[in-house]
Amino acid sequence: MTYLPVDQEKLLAWMDKQVLGDGDISNARMLSGGTQNIMFLFERDGRRFVFRAPPPHPRAESNTIMRREGVVLNGLSGTNVPHPEFIAGCWDTETLGRYFYLMEPVDGISPANQLPKPHSQSRDIRNRMSFSYMEGMAALAGVDYQAAGLKDFGKADGFLERQAGRWLSQIESYSKFENWTGSTDLGDYPKIAQWLDDNIPTDYQPGIIHGDCHIGNVMFALDSGELAAMIDWEMSTIGDPRIDVGWVMATWPSDPEFRIFNIEPWDGFAEVSDMVKHYGDVSGRNMDSIHWFGVLACFKLGAILEGTHARASAGKAPKETGDILHGITINLFKKAHRLMAGG
């Protein structure tokens, strides 16, 4: 048997009960992706599977998050949303000591890595990647979440009203970390929260949110610019799907102040404004208040990243990583202020 970080005999016994083939595991290899989750590809009885589970020493909420991933992927089965197809999940800790699920592998490329041929050779393909990306998000926004069995997947009521206070509290909670200087370095971040509270969109229509739909969490077809799948659904919930568009506004690599992914060649990828317009056209959603969602995305992502800097300030995380993420947070909050001013 190929070495894998799970008890293979127990996994195979569980698969037997699910009627998922016969025999041993073959052609197994570890996959990168997500945060610190375990993910590997393997074959059994001529069928390919991807295994996904929390790390060996999961956080308190890791199992719950893993189950939510499986639930939303299962709910999307049969829809036109590009996503990994759910196969089966185990929502107990008796089998492998943690929750896990199996999904179909996605044949595609990640643009967060060096673009392969033909994507690297075709400006038109790269341009198409920008718009198929938005079409996939629009398809997600169009799913009837209640019909998909996701009625209780999130608290739809009051979703937008909760956002500013939640992320402001997150930032302020970092004051418990010794030597954290965010209260001075980050500028007037309470003003961002106040602006969000004062300008809440009134045309809210709840739907499924991916929650972390940046360019590193999507895959494209091997031979074209068509979206193959949105992956890593850890932050998915029910709310306003325009949240995902705001996430693109905050993270699109064309902005030199926020370049986590150095995608080369970059020419041909569309401008954010054109992508936002395309999303509105294909989704039918009102985009008049889209700057609000961009501001929220900058504020939320900054609040999350600043947590590592706060822990690093107290010696609980690597200082170099904390400093890098702190710099990104500062730039995200500057972008939020620009968007608030209509820029």
Q: How confident is the model at residue 5 (pLDDT cuts 50, 70, 90)?
A: confident
Of the chain, the percentage scoring pLDDT greater than 90 comes to 88
**CB half-sphere exposure, 233, CA atoms < 13 A:** 32
Question: For residue 296, how many other CB atoms are within 10 A of its CB?
Answer: 28
CA distance 52 to 98: 11
Name the superfamily (CATH) of residues 8-103: Phosphorylase Kinase; domain 1 (3.30.200.20)
User: Can you give the pLDDT at residue 189?
Assistant: 96
Mean pLDDT of the chain: 93
**pLDDT above 90 for 104:** yes
Q: Which residues of 44-71 are buried (b: 16+ CB within 10 A; e: fewer)?
A: beeeebbbbbbeeebeeebbebbbbbbb
Q: How confident is the model at residue 2 (pLDDT cuts 50, 70, 90)?
A: low
* CA 8, 13, 14, 19 torsion-angle sign: positive
> Mapping DSSP to helix (H, G, I), strand (E, B) and coil, where does residue 109 land?
strand
Q: How confident is the model at residue 56 (pLDDT cuts 50, 70, 90)?
A: confident
Domain boundary assignment for the chain: 8-103, 119-340
User: Can you give the pLDDT at residue 1?
Assistant: 52
268 CB burial (10 A radius; 0-12, 13-18, 19+):
middle
Range of lowest pLDDT (27-41, 77-91, 103-117, 181-195): 27-41
Model pTM? 0.93
pLDDT tens-digit profile of 142-163? 999 999 999 999 999 999 999 9
> Mapping DSSP to helix (H, G, I), strand (E, B) and coil, where does residue 52 land?
strand
CATH of domain 119-340: 3.90.1200.10
Of the chain, the percentage scoring pLDDT greater than 70 comes to 96
CA distance 340 to 199: 10
User: Can you give the pLDDT at residue 257?
Assistant: 63
**pLDDT above 90 for 75:** yes
User: Can you give the pLDDT at residue 43?
Assistant: 96
Q: How confident is the model at residue 55 (pLDDT cuts 50, 70, 90)?
A: confident
User: Can you give the pLDDT at residue 94?
Assistant: 94
User: Can you give the pLDDT at residue 60?
Assistant: 78
CA distance 330 to 112: 23
**pLDDT above 60 for 191:** yes
